[in-house]
Amino acid sequence: MSPELTDQTKKKIEEIASRYASKEAALLPVLHLVQHEKGFISQQEEKQVAHLLNIKPIKVKEVVTFYTMFNQKEVGKYHIQVCSNLSCSLLGSESLIDHLKNKLGIEIGETTSDKKFTLMTVECLGACEQAPCMMINFDYFGNLDKEKIDNILDNLE
C-alpha cells in the first residue's frame, strides 16, 4: 500500500471538487475514491483528504465514522455484507449468516486470517425482491441459499 495518493487520484479529486459550490462537498465522493484505492481510511488518509479539500482532519473523521460504508480498518479482499433486515430475515438470512460464520470460521465483524474474507451484516440493501441477499464488495447476490453461497465463495480467487 503506497502511502501517498496517486497523481491520477489527486487529479480526479480536483475534478470532483469543481462540481460543488464548496470544496468540502466533495468529501464523500473523495472518500469513496480513496477507499477504492487504499481499501480503508486510516488517519493518514483522513489527513491527506483534509489537506486536499482544505478542511480540518477532525471533520473528515466525523464523516468517516458516521457512514457505515467507510472502513476504518483493513477488510478482507472480499467484503461480504449480508442483509439482516426484515424481508431478508423473513426468508432466512439468519441461517445463512450462521452458515457463513461456520464456513469462514469467523464471527460477524471479523476477517479471516488469510485476509480473504470479512463478514458483516448490514441493514436493507434495497434488493428485497431478491431476498435473502448480500453484497460482496460492490456486487449484489440475491435469492441466496446455502448451496448458492458455497458456489459463489468457492469461485472467488
Binding interface with ligand FES (CB under 6 A) = 83, 85-88, 124-128, 131, 133
The minimum distance between CB 1 and another protein, in angstroms, equals: 20
Nearer Cβ to ligand FES (28/86): 86
Query: Strand, coil or helix: what is 131?
Result: coil
Interatomic CA distance for residues 26 and 16, integer angstroms: 6
Nearer Cβ to another protein (51/105): 51
Distance of CA 70 to the CA centre of its chain: 6
Strands (E), 43-104: 78-83
- Residue labelled with grid coordinates 465463495: 153
Interatomic CA distance for residues 58 and 24, integer angstroms: 13
The minimum distance between CB 47 and another protein, in angstroms, equals: 8
Of another protein, ligand FES, none, which one sits near residue 108, judging by CB under 5 to 8 A according to partner kind? none
- Return the range that interacts with another protein (CB under 8 A); candidates 52-60, 97-105, 111-119, 144-152: 52-60
Nearer Cβ to another protein (108/140): 140
Nearer Cβ to ligand FES (138/154): 138
What are 10's three cell numbers?
489527486
The minimum distance between CB 151 and ligand FES, in angstroms, equals: 20
What are 72's three cell numbers?
476504518
Of 6, 51, 58, 108, the one binding another protein (CB under 8 A) is 58
Interatomic CA distance for residues 144 and 11, integer angstroms: 40
